[in-house]
Structure 1
Amino acid sequence: MSTFVKNIERITGDIGILASFLLVPLVLATTYEVVARYAFEAPTVWAYEVGYVLTGSHFLLGMAYTLQKGQFIRIDIFSQSMSSKMRALIDLIGYSVVFPLMIWISYGLLGHLIAGFMKGERSGQSALNMPVWPFRVVFMVAFVLLALQVLAEIIKSLKQYKELKK
């Protein structure tokens, strides 16, 4: 496998593992909120918003890692009857269609991030009313990382197709 693909997959793996650690503050914040609300009748103004930001960040930053590990949903009922060469070709075509879409989404998210930062946009989801730009950074980074992983999958599928074609 090329050094380029290995580097992408190392970055994807590192960020995916780091994203898994977002579950710790999520669980702590949710537990604190439940105890404060029901045991002390003193709900927080921050737990809801922190919870959905951490959940979203965990999900988004895990997308590329999930793709790298081959854990996205596939319709195996169709592909299991195909040859390895045909499956590699379908993967190559599919990833080649998805890659420009990931680039387009990443570019659009950059504009959305800049606009939110320049306006000082805030969430309006709770009394905490967090600024939205940090979450938009996560959003954009997640889709750039997914685009890079899709590119790595294109390279791997192309290599596999070429090897099976011989």
Structure 2
Amino acid sequence: MSHESLWLGALRGPVRLLAMVSTGLALAVFAWLVLGQFTSAEPIGMYEMLRPEGRPLVSVMLWSLFAALIFSSLYLSDRRGSIEIAPTGPLDILSLVLSRLSMIGIIAVVLVMFYEVVARYVFEKPTLWANELSLWIASFLFLLAGLYAMQQRSHIRIYIIYDMFPRWLQKLADVISVSLIWVFFLCLFWGGYNEAMQKLGRMETFGTAWDPPLPATLKIGLIIIIGLVALQALSNLIADWNKAPEHHSPADEIDEVEIENIRRTLED
């Protein structure tokens, strides 16, 4: 990873500090809640985490966790991977920030499922929330991965015919592709906006024991993130419009940096 500032500049240090402080606060509150499971007459569990009314400690936990995720994502987005495409505008930066958030989400899903496996098979006390929480997080990961792939131009494309085109015909093919993405988004928006707002307005829940608001959040999240994908596709089209023609080969998919890292690991 390159450690040069990608876009934060002088704000990189303060953002890093805020990420550390908010993460530390979230961990401290979490430790206190865990301790309360053994010492409090009314311990706070995952059921209460979805219902923070009248529970200031839960509110502090949720807000500190939210701040930790945001500031950590901002800080991590200020670095560019060796094979990542550099951002060309504010929308690219937003996509990078959300991609770092999704990467943190992958760790969260792994931890949740690990906890569930240990609780179920070691202590024989399965949770009521682990599967639904992992489903909730993974749903947004799937959507955000599509946005990140669009920003990185990493969606599957067939170049056999495309590379034979002259540049003007390649541009026409790109315009058609982006237009189809926008048609899909507009159809999704037209057909799903009212339902999404209804679900969000009444905070429709999953109807289970833990009862998280999956329908309320995922429906509107789907529309928003697909809208960002469409905007990112348009941004890519504009940014790449005057680029020289590219010709692709299987060698383009080889990550030399990753191969070198694997080689060093094996040598050690």
TM-score with structure 2 setting the length: 0.53
Task: Give, in angstroms, the shift of residue 72 of structure 1.
Answer: 0.4
Specify the code of the residue in structure 2 equivalent to 1:33: E
Residues 45 and 127, structure 1, Cα contact 8 Å, conserved in 2: yes
* 2:139 paired residue number: 56
Residues 193 and 223, structure 2, Cα contact 8 Å, conserved in 1: yes
Counterparts of 1:72-111 in structure 2, within 5 Å, are 72-111=155-194
* 2:209 paired residue number: 127
Task: Indicate how the Cα distance of structure 1 residues 151 and 107 shifts in structure 2: closer, same or farther if over 3 A, else same.
Answer: farther
CA distance in structure 1 between the partners assigned to 2:167 and 2:209 by the alignment: 54
Residues 60 and 142, structure 1, Cα contact 8 Å, conserved in 2: yes
Residues 144 and 225, structure 2, Cα contact 8 Å, conserved in 1: yes
| CA-to-aligned-CA distance 1:64-90 (integer Å, 9 cap, x gap) | 221110110111233233344432321
Specify the code of the residue in structure 1 equivalent to 2:188: I
* 1:22 paired residue number: 105
Say which structure is richer in helix.
Answer: 1
Out of 88, 94, 108, the position equivalent to 1:11 is 94
CA distance in structure 1 between the partners assigned to 2:104 and 2:193 by the alignment: 25
CA distance in structure 2 between the partners assigned to 1:21 and 1:109 by the alignment: 29
Residues 185 and 227, structure 2, Cα contact 8 Å, conserved in 1: yes
Moved more, 105-114 or 72-81: 105-114
Task: Give, in angstroms, the shift of residue 57 of structure 1.
Answer: 0.5
CA distance in structure 2 between the partners assigned to 1:62 and 1:32 by the alignment: 24
Q: Which structure has the greater CA radius of gyration? A: 2
* 1:68 paired residue number: 151
Task: Indicate how the Cα distance of structure 1 residues 36 and 129 shifts in structure 2: closer, same or farther if over 3 A, else same.
Answer: same
Task: Indicate how the Cα distance of structure 1 residues 9 and 106 shifts in structure 2: closer, same or farther if over 3 A, else same.
Answer: farther
Using CA pairs below 8 Å that are at least 6 residues apart, which structure has the higher relative contact order? 1
Specify the code of the residue in structure 2 equivalent to 1:150: A
Moved more, 34-43 or 130-139: 130-139
How many correspondences in the alignment?
157
| CA-to-aligned-CA distance 1:82-107 (integer Å, 9 cap, x gap) | 34443232112211222132133235
Specify the code of the residue in structure 2 equivalent to 1:98: I
Residues 33 and 44, structure 1, Cα contact 8 Å, conserved in 2: yes
Residues 88 and 160, structure 1, Cα contact 8 Å, conserved in 2: no
In structure 2, the residue corresponding to 1:81 is in which secondary structure? coil
What CA RMSD, in Å, does the superposition of the two structures yield over aligned residues? 2.3
CA distance in structure 1 between the partners assigned to 2:117 and 2:202 by the alignment: 34
CA distance in structure 2 between the partners assigned to 1:66 and 1:138 by the alignment: 17
In structure 2, the residue corresponding to 1:23 is in which secondary structure? helix
Query: Where does structure 2 lack aligned partners over 5 or more consecutive residues?
Result: 1-87, 246-268
* 2:256 paired residue number: none
Residue identity (%): 26
In structure 2, the residue corresponding to 1:74 is in which secondary structure? coil
* 1:43 paired residue number: 126
Residues 13 and 65, structure 1, Cα contact 8 Å, conserved in 2: yes
TM-score with structure 1 setting the length: 0.81
